[in-house]
Chain A
Amino acid sequence: MHRFANPNFFLRLTARILPWCALATAAAFIAGLYLALGVSPPDYQQGESVRIMYVHVPSAWMALSVYSFVAAASAVALIWKHPLADLAAKAAAPIGAGFTLIALVTGALWGQPSWGTWWVWDARLTSMLVLFFLYLGYIALVNAFDDPIRGAKAGAVLALVGFVNIPIIKFSVDWWNTLHQPASITRIGAPAIHSSMLTPLILMALAFAGYFVCVLILRVRSEIAGRKIRALRIIQAQG
């Protein structure tokens, strides 16, 4: 793993990977969107609005996976002082916050036609909203210090604290929801999903994951460039 800690090795490796990653992402997006918007059947109850699912569900998946990624990268950064893990965690967080926002907004857009309301204090929606605030707190903390390295370290501790808390928050929101809210919403998705819908969903999930990897690589590369410029400026100022 320490071989990958060398930023120059990372830059060379990702320069090779990036075009292929972008190509695969584009292909998955084209195929996924074609199947999702054109080929897959409308829902017998919800009609065409079910197609929001092909954006909503993958982004919700990504919102959670990216937070796990941030926490894992933070743990690596704290335990092994891995110089790239810090950058990866910092670079991934805004992408994850974006996915969370997309999941929340598409959820509201989907809720309006199928439940008749933009927002309900459903357990899943509420814990998604809390996750969004956790992302915002992380991003704010990382950028709150004059020294970026100090920010990254504080952020790493916070990401791990948040990661321990996510299951507790999820559990308590579930509990709160069963106490407070009458069961007014019967969720769809109880019957097994048909393959004509599952295939585009998986393709879209792959496209989202590929998009995350591509943008992450780009962001880490620009972070490395930013650190190099900073180091050069400091040398210049001292010299």
Chain B
Amino acid sequence: MNRFTLIVARDLRLALRRGADSTMVVAFFVLTVVLFPLGVGPDTAILARIGPGVIWVTALLASMLSLERLFQADFEDGNLDLLVLGSLPLEAVVLAKSLAHWLTTGMLLIVAAPVLALLLNMSAEGFGALVLAMLLGTPSLTLIGAVGAALTVGARRGGALLSLLVLPLYVPVLIFGVGAVDAAISGMAMRPHFLILGALLAGTLVLAPLAGAAALRQAVQ
């Protein structure tokens, strides 16, 4: 195995053995969405209307939950120093850790989303679009979040700070993610939304590892 897959495998193994992190993210996702009918009222028409937005906003918040530990844990036990000194470029390290994070959180959110869409009475035409939009959107969320996580390594009150840094940058993904589902439900063209989500993913795939690596280098100096 090469060094990239070794890092991914290591993070996956850590996540599996500490399973609580991933289950907490999904539990948060489900619980928060379930709160909405209690807050807004059980009117199915209103729930169906706000469903895509509620699921996406909650997915943004949930995917941010475990980000704080993405580099902080390695920073505290000294692994980060070794990763920075290692022969694998730091950009690739950021990418590998983001991939592992997405596999352990983003994927689970995508699995849970259709069930929540059912609970919110979303119309069936939107289900496929919701899953596809989340498949394209959640990796961008993880990558943008990884930059935020790298920036807040070693900071005081990292968690609250991380949300302040990352949430404004999530706005485009949110808009086009919800837009795709809304377009599918109302029978309009979904293609442009998916294309832009794909473009956002392609852009963050290149730029986020660069920015994340730059941030990590500042952190371990």
Contact = CB atoms under 8 A, between A and B. Distances in A.
Contact of B214 (A137, A157, A164, A176): A157
Interface in A130-186: 130, 133-134, 136-137, 140-141, 144-146, 150, 153-154, 157-158, 160-162, 164-165, 168-169, 171-173, 175-176, 179
Interface SS majority for chain B: helix
Contact of B218 (A130, A153, A161): A153
B161 A144 contact: yes
Interface stretch (B7-15, B38-46, B83-91, B162-170): B162-170
A53 interface: no
Contacts, number: 82
Interface of A: 78, 130, 133-134, 136-137, 140-141, 144-146, 150, 153-154, 157-158, 160-162, 164-165, 168-169, 171-173, 175-176, 179
A137 B168 contact: yes
A157 B215 contact: yes
B164 A176 contact: no
Given A172-B171, A176-B179, A179-B179, A140 B211 contact: no
B165 A141 contact: yes
A133 B167 contact: yes
Given A144-B156, A153-B218, A169-B172, 8 more contacts: A133-B167, A144-B161, A154-B155, A154-B218, A161-B207, A165-B169, A165-B172, A175-B179
* Chain A interface main SS type: helix
Given A130-B168, A130-B171, A157-B211, A140 B161 contact: yes
Contacts of A162: 168-169
Nearest to A175: B175
Contact of B152 (A134, A144, A160, A164): A144
* CB-CB nearest 3 A-B residue pairs: A172-B172, A144-B155, A153-B218
Interface of B: 147, 151-152, 154-158, 161, 164-165, 167-169, 171-172, 175-176, 179, 182, 196, 200, 203, 207, 211, 214-215, 218-219, 221
B168 A157 contact: no
B164 A140 contact: yes
